[in-house]
Structure formats: structure tokens, C-alpha cells
Structure 1
Amino acid sequence: MRILEIALLVFVTILPFVKRQSIKKIPKRYLITSICVLMVLHLSVEGWRWQMIPAYLLVLILGWCLYKEYSFFNGGWIRKTIRGIALVLLLLFSWVLPYILPVFNFPRPTGKYNIGSQYIHLKSTQDEIMTSDLGDKRELMIKAWYPAILDNEKTEPYLNEGDRVSFAIKHGLPITIFNYLDLVKTHTYIKPSVAMGKFPVLIFSHGSYSQASGYYALIEEIVSHGYIVLNINHTYESTGTLFPDGEIKLFNSEYDRKQNNQEMAEMAWNALQNYNKATTPEEQFKTVHNLILNYYGAELTERYSNDISLVIDELKKWNTSTFLAHHLDITKIGVFGHSQGGAAAGQALLDDDRLKAGINVDGMQWGKMIDTIMTKPFALISSEWDDSHPNLNIQAYHNGSSSDFYNAKILNSGHSSFMDIPLMINLPFINEAGTISPNKAYEVTTKTVLQFFDLYLLDKHSDLLELGNKYPELELTEKK
């Protein structure tokens, strides 16, 4: 919570319990003036937000009581009890709502570059298979984050309209519920010029049915160290994609239901039951081989990988005729992603020779990786999964690699520790971010990502395994 919010809440929490005789010793105009000044300062400096509405209501009630010189707990015991319960409930909501849904701060980027962003609308000639309309072609929105030169540009608001509206629709919430995010300050500026020089390119792929650009904490830090990150919004796969004409294309739940159907559920159930009964690694592999190869996640992984290749197809053109012209080093292209996007990063390394290295951030590697040997530098960064969660990636990557392959685990983290969710929702049992500090999880993750790509795209000397000694939260090994 913000400083003036806390001050306001402390005031309205203490005041009702101060004895009437004590209050009478202070002229009421001083108390009323104090609470009015505090309220005005909060509204003008920090700005109002709906989470503070219970606190604002308490301010009005207590202000009226002060003006009328009326004791909040005046009357018989029944009246006092009712008012006491009402007060406790109001105070509970006054503290809990702004705490759970705070106006949060992103970690300050530590690199030497400022950060800018612009959107690119990619129109392909490939048929769109996720709609029933004949003639539909696959279209993507790409958010380009890049090292920038500033000239009085403003920072962009956190999450665009497509991300906000679609996230609200996903959870059945009022569309205006995320307006308070306008109060969140990012470190990304709106359409500044690209900094001088050429920069290596990292393509980022988000998780399925998630906010495509809900990864500011990670991406801002990476870009500040001299990378251009092309953040794909996989149309119909994210919560929503905002196009230049204002249309928002939402997650295609109908297509998802048809493909991720009862047959898929039974396949997963039977395979996992047999997996849990298996007594040797060889038996475990046999029980899940077909599942990893043919489960619906494998189709998603292929489709995401295809989108990544569509972006790479455009890089030469973008390097001559867009705001990124002459700033893309297309000889140094890496890929990383989270969850389903992480699986896509691994798949894309197999599918596209133009990619040099990649990182899967906490994604289950569905698809043909299980029958393949990785031949490029690769890292798997995982959260600390619960023991009841079967680690099928052991089977998916069982063939290993002919190149460098790293296995990293961030202790006490959860699946959303790599997203902005832990900052947005300040309750670990809801945000699925484990018990690790969100900022510590971001720090460890970005250090690992940066040192990996510095080594394999920029040929900078780096001993990745030393990070495990630097951060007790990180278990990092190299798989031979």
C-alpha cells in the first residue's frame, strides 16, 4: 500500500476507539481539518482507487460523527454491538482490499539502457485454423521492447486495453475493475527512438490463456541490458489480442473445448495412473510417451512454434522498413517463453535453424522433443513443483542434448513467479507464486536468462553454474 493510504487507514482505525472525553480535549475543527487534509492529499497525490472505497466510507462516517460531536458507540448494548460489527467489517475491507490488490512498483531495471515499446501488426498468408470463417489468415500483434533514447516521452500504462478487458472477462469481473492499474508506473516509454547500434533479438512467447504482456518485471530488466524483445501475442491463445482498429480477439474457448476434449482428459488420466504405478525410469517413460507426444499440449506447442517462425520470417523486412530498421542483429536470435510459451521455445529450437539458443521457463515440454536430441544451447528454468505434481519433463528431455543443457530450479517459487501476477495479487495461496519474494524470483530469473543469452548469443564469458553459488534460491546444474 502507498504511504498516504496507510496514514488514512491508521487514522480511521484508531479514531473510533478513542474515548469521547479525550476527543473533546481537541477542538473538533482540528480533527475534521486533519482528516480532510489527509483525504485531499491522498486523492491529489496518490489518486483514488476502488479498493479504498470502504476506507472513504469510514472517513465520511467519522467526519460526520466529529462534526455532530456524536460518539460512534453511543446507545445501548445492542446498538453498540451492531455498530461494532459494522465497524470491524468496514475496517477489515478497508485494510484487506488495498493490501491484496495493491498499486505496486516494478523492480527498477539495472541495465544502462532506457526502455521503449511499440506494437507491430503481423499479417501472414497462413490460414487461421482457430476460426470457422473461410479466408481468415493468421494475424499476430507483436510488442517490441527495445533499448531507447528518450526525448520527453511518457511511460506507458500497465497493460493495454486488450489485456485488461480480456482478463476481466476471463474471471467474470467488471471491465472497469482494472482501471486502477493506471496508477501503476512502468519503466517502459511510449514510442521513443531506438538507441544507437544493433541489438540481439529475443522472441518471447507467453503462457496459454494468459496476458500476453503481463511480464513487465522480467522483460524490462532484460531489455535494459541491450536486447530487443519481441513479445508475441498468440491470437486466440492469450486472454485477448488488441488490434490497431480497436478489435479485441479473445481466447477461443470453443476451439479449446473441441480439441482439449474428453478423449484428451482420459488419455492424461490413464497415462498418469500408470506413471504413478511404474517402478523404474524405463516403465515411467513408456507410460507417458504417447501422452507427451500426442496430448493437446503438443498441438499448442507446434502452433506457438509456428508463430515464432512467422515472426523470424519478418525480421529482414522489419530491419529495413520499420522503427527497428538497422537495429536488429538477425544473426543473433534467441527464444524464451513461459509455461506453454516455454514449451514453444524448446519446440522452435527444433523447428527453426535461425534460432541459436533458447530457454523454457516453467513449461511442460509437450510434443516431439521426447523423440529428439537437442542440438542447441538450452535451459529449463523451473519453479519448485509440489511433490504431487509429476515432473514429466524428465521424460520429455530424456534423450538429452549434444549441446549445453542447463536445469535450473528456483526454490520456494510457483508457476506465476515469472509473471507480474505476484505483484498484482498479494496473496501467495491465490497467486500461485510460492513463498519466495516476487522481486527475488525476478532477480534470479533475469540473471539466469541474461547470463545464458550473453554467453550463447554474444559470446561473453560466463560461468552460469556460479549463479547457483551466488543465489541460495537457485539450484542450477548442467545436464550431460
Structure 2
Amino acid sequence: MITLSQGIRKGTRPLAAGLLAVTAAACLLSAPTAYASTTPSLTRPTGTHPVGTTSLHLTDTSRPDPWVPTAKARELMVSLWYPAKAPGRDRAPYMTAKESELLLKAAEITGVPSDVLSKTRTNSFTDAKPAGRKHGLPLVVLSPGFGKPRSELTALAEELASRGYVVAGIEHTYESVATTFPDGRVTTCVVCEIKKTPEWWVKLEKGRAADVSFVLDELTGSRPKWKGARLIDPARIAMAGQSVGGASTITAMLADSRVRAGIDMDGTTDAPIPAGGLSRPFMFLGRQSTYSPGAGDEAATWERDWKSMTGWKRWLVVTGAVHVSFTDYGLLTDQLGIESGADLPGARSVEITRQYVRAFFDLHVLKKAQPLLDKPSARYPEVKFCAPETKTCA
């Protein structure tokens, strides 16, 4: 079995997409040596608000699906997490049993129950009543990695929602190993097996940017598709993504001025920023081994983009992290006894990701000072601040 730190890859994304992509998606390397029949669980969020969640099925009739020509409209599933007035009765599922089965099967994982990921205990409650005042809540859009479901960023979404954000996690149809629609259809990763070129990755990122703009229209337009949409402040919208979702954050910001700030978590970028540059706040957050300045092709794309970013910016790398450390899977694989290749424990990687992502949004969306982003922290010595100009991180 190829590990997440090996393989034939373009940046953080596999050229031979099939098994490698979904292996990264599941963050699973091999069967556990001793499977513990415990229920996996996400780390509790640290905010004061209970977290509610709901799912939206959205259809963009203005464009065909970019990957399936017979689909004359682009269908998306979107999860929303938000501050709730009170916990609900029904704790939200992490994913369906079928999604868990397909994820594990694609990654060739045996020795664990096929539905084990669907039993992951979350900290959010289905359709709990939203809390907040009209246009009082900022919105953060999350985009997952290639081949991955939107659920991979649930721990981050719950943290932000507990702190007063509405979070929209987008499932990019036919780019995920399994997407379940309300009528019971389950679409798979149509594009995982095809050969990739640099131009193809640019197309993918532009398609994701179009998905983001459509979702923003559906949440903040005159006829919003969510009953709590009136709580969203359309002037305070930001985005983060992991892997290609992070690369797509830049593309989305360039395409849609409503996205005021963005984060790329461990994602190699493809399309250069145009000559006009990007003046809105941006943060790179990645692995030290891969994304330290001068480290290689992946870091080179960040160095190229860094020069075109004219606003507030940070470049942070995390010692001991692997690609999936910026998702839930580092945490879940630790609990299941499955090796992820990380030197950083999954619970610690979730804490670091939450802290630095939240600090960035609190600073640039809520306009609250965040000393954590000013210099290295003794509390988080794993996080290094990089200076591309001198190719150093400290």
C-alpha cells in the first residue's frame, strides 16, 4: 500500500488519481494492527454556542455539470453548521454507511467495519434552531480536497460555528468518492480515474470557484434556500479549503469579490494570480517538509503566488504534519489504530488547525486583534512562520 507521503504526485495531488486520491481522501494507509471497537469521535468545539447543522440540495440550472455532459444542471450538496439556540435531540451523522463503505473500499482498507466512519460521533445537532440577529453572523465557505467528502472538515466547521460563524461545506459533485442526494442517489468520483494535466487542474479550480459563487447566491440572494439565511452578513464572507480546495480558494477570491479573505491548507496552486495581484488577506498553512520556502515544486507555487499578494499575508508550516493533518482524518485514524504517517498526533493537529484558522477569520472577518498571528507561539512550537524572501521558517 502506498503511504500518504509517497507515490507519484503533482504537488499534494496525485497524477494517477484513482487509489492514491481516495487513499488521501480517507487518510487510511493499511488495516489496523489491532482494531479497537470504540466509536470514533470528533474533538469538542471550544466556543460557547451549541452547534446546529443542516444539508441543502442546490441545483444550478445556468450551467451544465462540467464532468458529466448528460447532466444539464450542476447539482450540489452543501452542509451548513451554525450557532444554535439550544442543542437538538438528534446528533448529526458524520456520513452515511454507504459513504463510509465506498471510502474504505476505494482506499483498500480491510480489518474495520465498513460503516465505521459513519458512526463517528459529531458535536452538532440536526436542524437545531439557529441563533443570532439579522445579518449578524459571518459566513465561511469550506472546500475539501480532491476525492474527499465535505465531512472531512467537520471538526473545523463545528469549531467555527461554536464561535458564531455560519459555515458552508460544499460537496463538489463527481469530485468526491461518494455524494448522497436526498432522493437516495449516490454519485461517485467520475474524475478520479482520468489522466490529469496542469490545464485540467486549472479547470477544476475554476469549476469549484463557480460552485462557491453559486452557493453564495443561494445563501445571500433575494430568495435564499436556507431558512436561517437572514442571519448571514453578506459583507463578511471568507473561505478556506484543504488541498485542491485550498488552491480553489485563491481562484474563488479572484472570481468573486464577496470572498473577503482566504486560507489554503496544504494545497498546491495551479493558475498564477493575474498581474493585478490579490490585495485581500490570505494565509498559507501547510506541512513543513513540503511547503517550506525552497522545498520543491509545491512550495514554488506558493512562492510565485506570495509575490502577487499585496495585502496582509502569512505563510505558516506545521512540524510533523502530513497532508491529512489539516482534516478530521488524522484524528480518526489515531482512534482506529491506523497509521497516517504523521509525527503529530491527530488531536494536536486538529487543535492547531482550529486555532490558527479561527484566529485568521477572527482578525479579518470580525476585526478582532489576534496576537497568535503576529509571531511564533510557545503554546504551539510546531507552527513555524516562514519568510519566503529569505527562505527561512522560525
TM-score of Structure 1 vs Structure 2, range by shorter chain? 0.7 to 0.9
Alignment of 1:406-425 (within 5 A): 406-425=314-333
Cα distance in 2 between the residues matched to 1:194 and 1:389? 44
Residue 229 of structure 2 corresponds to 325
Please say if residues 167 and 239 of structure 1, whose CA atoms lie closer than 8 Å, have aligned partners that are also in contact: yes
Residue 84 of structure 2 corresponds to 148
Cα distance in 1 between the residues matched to 2:299 and 2:170? 27
Which of 242, 259, 283 is residue 379 of structure 1 equivalent to? 283
Cα distance in 1 between the residues matched to 2:298 and 2:225? 47
Cα distance in 2 between the residues matched to 1:375 and 1:200? 20
Cα distance in 2 between the residues matched to 1:154 and 1:448? 30
Query: After superposition, what is the alpha-carbon deviation per residue over 1:371-396, rounded to whole angstroms, capped at 9, x for unaligned?
Result: 56221000000122256775232443
Please say if residues 206 and 337 of structure 1, whose CA atoms lie closer than 8 Å, have aligned partners that are also in contact: yes
Cα distance in 1 between the residues matched to 2:201 and 2:336? 27
Q: 2:148 matched to 1:244?
A: no
Gaps of 5+ in 2: 1-30, 390-394
Distance 1:398 1:467, change over 3 A: closer
Return the TM-score normalized by structure 2: 0.81
Deviates more, 1:378-387 or 1:159-168: 159-168
Q: 2:382 matched to 1:446?
A: no
What's the secondary structure of 1:223's corresponding residue?
helix
Residue 71 of structure 1 corresponds to none
Residue 89 of structure 1 corresponds to none
The alpha-carbon deviation at position 310 of structure 1 amounts to 1.1
Q: 2:237 matched to 1:299?
A: no
Please say if residues 400 and 479 of structure 1, whose CA atoms lie closer than 8 Å, have aligned partners that are also in contact: no
Residue 193 of structure 1 corresponds to 129
Q: 2:309 matched to 1:401?
A: yes
Cα distance in 2 between the residues matched to 1:334 and 1:383? 23
Which of 96, 110, 135 is residue 160 of structure 1 equivalent to? 96
Which amino acid is the alignment partner of residue 229 of structure 1?
A: V
Cα distance in 2 between the residues matched to 1:429 and 1:371? 48
Return the TM-score normalized by structure 1: 0.67
Residue 56 of structure 1 corresponds to none
What's the secondary structure of 1:193's corresponding residue?
coil
Q: What RMSD, in angstroms, separates the aligned Cα atoms of the two structures?
A: 2.9
Residue 98 of structure 1 corresponds to 35
Please say if residues 59 and 75 of structure 2, whose CA atoms lie closer than 8 Å, have aligned partners that are also in contact: yes
Cα distance in 1 between the residues matched to 2:342 and 2:274? 29
Which amino acid is the alignment partner of residue 329 of structure 1?
A: D
The alpha-carbon deviation at position 437 of structure 1 amounts to 1.6
> What fraction of aligned residue pairs are identical, expressed as a percent?
25
Q: 2:260 matched to 1:356?
A: yes
Residue 299 of structure 2 corresponds to 391
The alpha-carbon deviation at position 477 of structure 1 amounts to 4.7
Cα distance in 1 between the residues matched to 2:66 and 2:267? 24
What's the secondary structure of 1:97's corresponding residue?
coil
Give the helix-richer structure, 1 or 2. 1
Query: After superposition, what is the alpha-carbon deviation per residue over 1:328-367, rounded to whole angstroms, capped at 9, x for unaligned?
Result: 1111000100000000111111111111101011100111
Which of 357, 374, 383 is residue 474 of structure 1 equivalent to? 383
Distance 1:417 1:428, change over 3 A: farther
The alpha-carbon deviation at position 165 of structure 1 amounts to 3.8
